[in-house]
Amino acid sequence: MKLSIALCASAVTAASLPRSEEGLPLSDFGQTHSVSQEDAAAGIDIAYTLNQRAEQGFPLADFGEVHHVEVAQAKQGVDLGGNNFSVLPIFGPGHESSLESWLDKTNRKFKHDVHKFNDKFRHKVGNAIEKVEDIIDDVFGGNFEPRDTIDNVEDVEGELLETRDTGDCANPAIRFEWDNYSTSDKQAFVSAIKCLIDRPASGKFQYSKNRYEDFVRLHQSYAPNIHSQSTSAQTHKFLLWHRYYVWAFEQVLRDECGFNRAMPWWDEKKWAGKFAQATIFTTQYFGTLPGPTNGRGTCVTNGAFAGLQSNLGPGQTVNNPHCVQRAVSESVTAQTGVDSYNTCLARSTYPDFHSCVEFTFHAQGHNGVGATMADAIASPGDPAFFMHHLYVDYVFRKWQLGALSRRTTISGCATNNGCTPLTLDTMIYLGGICGSKCPDLPVRDVLRTLQGHFCYKYNY
């Protein structure tokens, strides 16, 4: 699948300027490289199976079959991981209505201490349990491996007494899912982004016309180094660089636009196949999500970013004023759901997880919103980019919680043109986008969200 403009292309200036209120042909934006969730589940990345890629230097020794159970099997207590569903605290319709009623059912002495531990159980009524971290706050939850068996509540109680990592920051910032974010917080967040759009450019990023475009230009300039050229020529800095990039965006919102709320994130998978109905895409917040107009992108005409103009893109193009535009395809957004999420979480090595994320729900999220977002190079022109990548980082952290080694070691390729090894000493560059808060850092300092340069976590 082609990318709109080669990632290694240099900046070019548009020969003629399109009408700023008219959408560009969708072919100008191209598409972000992607594979279907079915291929990802089968271990196929376009022309290469994962084992074939191993011959080219990708460590795949731990890769195996993606295990799953059907809903009907789960209801019968069948679980390939060996967990006993009769004692896991599954709440909601058809199950126990509360933590206390579950503890009563277990007939354990632990039930009398329910209030002691109640704040450490965080499962919500009606939500599916996907892994132990969904039940127990990861600050207190134990180091459960994916196939650990939980036979009784004492197993959980004992693990509650152990911290996940020594040296974790004491008071992490919490990122709240958009639907758990207050109306006031939502309005403050989009207002802070609008503030950046209205502020002058820093002058550090050529062709940028405002402070928000500094971030677009940074991403556009670094695109050849932070995205894989194809599924067979990959750089595994993608997740690490974007983690730092989104964090830097948060710092600038706070330091330059007075944003003083918790940071949001968007649980994208629950809107798969219906992005246009998502609670971020409303006239109150990010604006609605229209389809294409006569094969062209449709300008954003409502919401906080109505009439937003971009000087950058598609691809490496600069000095090219045009409206920020969308062209939703729900058949593509349908690929961003729980199947892709589970498929990626099941991969056991960092390169395999990384490949899965970059080419499945990450790519399909971009392509599904369409137009500006479908352009892998200048996609931050649409503020929805940051909500999408906050979700990507959320999934990255969820995967890291599966094993301590995922937060202390790294492997893969630092470059997509020869596979220079990715190590803890590989440098991540952000061009000083947020001043002294954004120094060039080694991977070891951006690998964890609770150690190194960061101190944040997600609310579930």
**303-338 confidence digits (pLDDT tens):** 999 999 999 999 999 999 999 999 999 999 999 999
The residue from 160, 185, 219 where one domain ends is 160
Tokens 């632990």 label which residue? 110
| CATH number for the domain harbouring residue 307 | 1.10.1280.10
Q: Are residues 430 and 453 in the same domain?
A: yes
Q: Is the dihedral of CA 93, 99, 100, 104 positive or negative?
A: positive
Looking at the fold, whether 361 and 226 belong to one and the same domain comes out as yes
Higher local confidence (pLDDT), 32 or 155: 32
Residue 284: inside a domain: yes
pLDDT at 231: 74
Residue 364 lies in a domain: yes
Q: Are residues 250 and 286 in the same domain?
A: yes
Domain assignment of residue 165, yes or no: no
Q: What is the mean pLDDT of residues 387-407?
A: 96
Instruction: Please state the rounded mean pLDDT for residues 165-184.
Output: 91
Q: Is residue 298 part of a domain?
A: yes
Give helix 238-257 / helix 350-359 axis angle, nearest 10°: 70
Position 68 confidence tier, pLDDT thresholds 50, 70, 90: very low
316, 289: one domain: yes
Residue 333: name the closest of 383, 373, 368, 380 by CA.
Answer: 368
Contacts (Cβ under 8 Å, ≥6 apart) of 244: 428, 430, 438, 441, 446, 453
Identify whether residues 395 and 290 lie together within a single domain. yes
Question: Which of 160, 181, 205 delimits the end of a domain?
Answer: 160
End-of-domain residue from the set 139, 160, 181 = 160
Residue indicated by tokens 């986008």 = 433
Task: Tell me, yes or no, whether 90 and 58 share the same domain.
Answer: no
* H runs (alpha helix) in 82-169: 99-106, 114-117, 153-160
pLDDT of residue 167: 76
361-397 exposure pattern, b = at least 16 Cβ within 10 A, e = fewer: bbbbbbbbbbbbbbbbbbbbbbbbbbbbbbbbbbbbb
Question: Both 210 and 134 in a single domain?
Answer: no
Using alpha carbons only, give the angle 402, 355, 286 rounded to the nearest 5 degrees: 85
The dihedral of CA 242, 430, 375, 231: what is its sign? negative
Alpha-carbon gap, residue 124 to 130, rounded angstroms:
12
C-alpha span between 121 and 145 (Å, rounded): 18
Residue 47 tokens, joined: 């022309």
Domain that holds residue 105: 71-160
| pLDDT tier at 416, thresholds 50, 70, 90 | confident
Is 70 exceeded by the pLDDT of residue 191?
yes
pLDDT at 440 over 50: yes
Residue 88 phi/psi, 5-degree rounding, is -65, 140
Are both 132 and 244 inside the same structural domain? Answer: no
> How many domains does one find in the chain?
2
pLDDT, tens digit, 9 for 90 and up, residues 355-383: 999 999 999 999 999 999 999 899 999 99
Element (H, E) at 173: strand 173-177
The alpha carbon of 245 is separated from its chain's Cα centroid by a whole number of angstroms, namely 12
CA angle 452, 447, 342 (to 5 degrees): 140
Over 60: is that where the pLDDT of 192 sits?
yes
Shared domain check, 176 and 156: no
Average pLDDT over residues 211-235: 90
Q: Could you tell me if 104 and 236 lie in one domain?
A: no
Residues 411, 302 share a domain:
yes
User: Is the domain of 75 the same as that of 57?
Assistant: no
Decide if 3 is inside a domain: no
